[in-house]
Amino acid sequence: MAHMQKGVHEDVRLAINRADELSRSAHEAHHEPVAQALDSLRTALVHVDEALGGGRSALPIVPELVRIVDDLASFSERVAPEVRAFYREAAQGFRDLVRQLERSLEAIAPSLELPSKPLLGVLPLARVLPQDLHSAMDYGSGATCLATALMADSTSGKIAGAALGASVVCVSALTDYRLSVAKIIPIEAHEAIDHLWGLSAIIAPFAFGYWKKDPAVAAIHVMAGASTILASLFTDYRAAKGVGRSVEEIDALMREGV
């Protein structure tokens, strides 16, 4: 892991030097939009370099790098035809670098474990339940509800079980917490979804009428919903990457040692 981090750090510094060289050439050729994009790229790469050197995650900077490289590609199409291919190739090179950099940063970055912002200013009521345990409960609730889709006799019970199970598993797999497949959904959004999902699971048997035909399935859905809401009130929600937060905010939290 240390060897990989050293390699990533070296790649970033080489990219800084390359962006610096191209920026000087663009300024000299009076290709100002291209030069400004390269200056911005260099600045963002310096922030990555500083984050790696300070032991912090540089992943939150990647979206900014992507935006800048997109700008660079756009500006490269507006220069004189005789140099267009050169800048286009440079933009593609940086795009490939950013893609590789994101994969490498994903591999070496530990979870940042950033506490969620309070939901509605007050939730959770207390941070007692560890995030990983809550995550495991999410997947467990999803598996249980999916199983009820096979148990149910009524069509509405089967559909509700499948919908409730699939939705919680998908949201969990895409949430910005440690035990997920992809970090896309902000942890605060997940917390809100937990409450909405729990309420939906409680209401579903009565709204769709299968509580009479499938009482056991209905009871499982109600218990799953109630337990999800109860757990959510006392979970120490923690983000792995800080999706939806600014780089400055994440850096400030890391310096505070949260």
**Which tens digit of pLDDT belongs to each residue from 120-138?**
999 999 999 999 999 999 9
Residue 256, pLDDT above cutoff 90: no
- Which region holds residue 242: left if phi is over 0, alpha if psi is between -120 and 50, else beta? left
For residue 257, what pLDDT is reported? 55
DSSP track, 133-161: HHHHHHHHHHHHHHHHHHH-SSHHHHHHH
For residue 110, what pLDDT is reported? 66
For residue 200, the surrounding DSSP H or E stretch is helix 187-207
For residue 251, what pLDDT is reported? 65
Residue 231, pLDDT above cutoff 90: yes
Residue 103, pLDDT above cutoff 90: no
For residue 176, what pLDDT is reported? 94
Task: Compute the mean pLDDT over every residue in the chain, rounded to the nearest whole number.
Answer: 90
Residue 220, pLDDT above cutoff 60: yes
Q: Please give the residue that has the higher pLDDT: either 67 or 112.
A: 67
Residue 258, pLDDT above cutoff 60: no
What does the alpha-carbon distance between residue 13 and residue 6 come to, in Å, rounded to a whole number?
A: 11
CATH level 3 topology of 2-108: Four Helix Bundle (Hemerythrin (Met), subunit A) (1.20.120)
Residues 64-83 have a mean pLDDT of 89
Residues 234-253 have a mean pLDDT of 82
What does the alpha-carbon distance between residue 40 and residue 48 come to, in Å, rounded to a whole number?
A: 13
Q: Is pTM, for the whole model, over 0.95?
A: no
For residue 134, what pLDDT is reported? 97
pLDDT per position as a tens digit, 11-59: 899 999 999 999 999 999 889 999 999 999 999 999 988 888 877 777 7
Cβ neighbors of 146 (< 8 A, separation 6 or more) are: 161, 162, 165, 166, 169
Of 34-43, 104-113, 147-156, 180-189, give the lowest mean pLDDT range: 104-113
CA–CA distance from 44 to each of 15, 21, 47, 136 (Å)?
11, 16, 5, 36
Residue 252, pLDDT above cutoff 60: yes
Residue 112, pLDDT above cutoff 60: yes
Of 76-90, 146-160, 213-227, give the lowest mean pLDDT range: 76-90
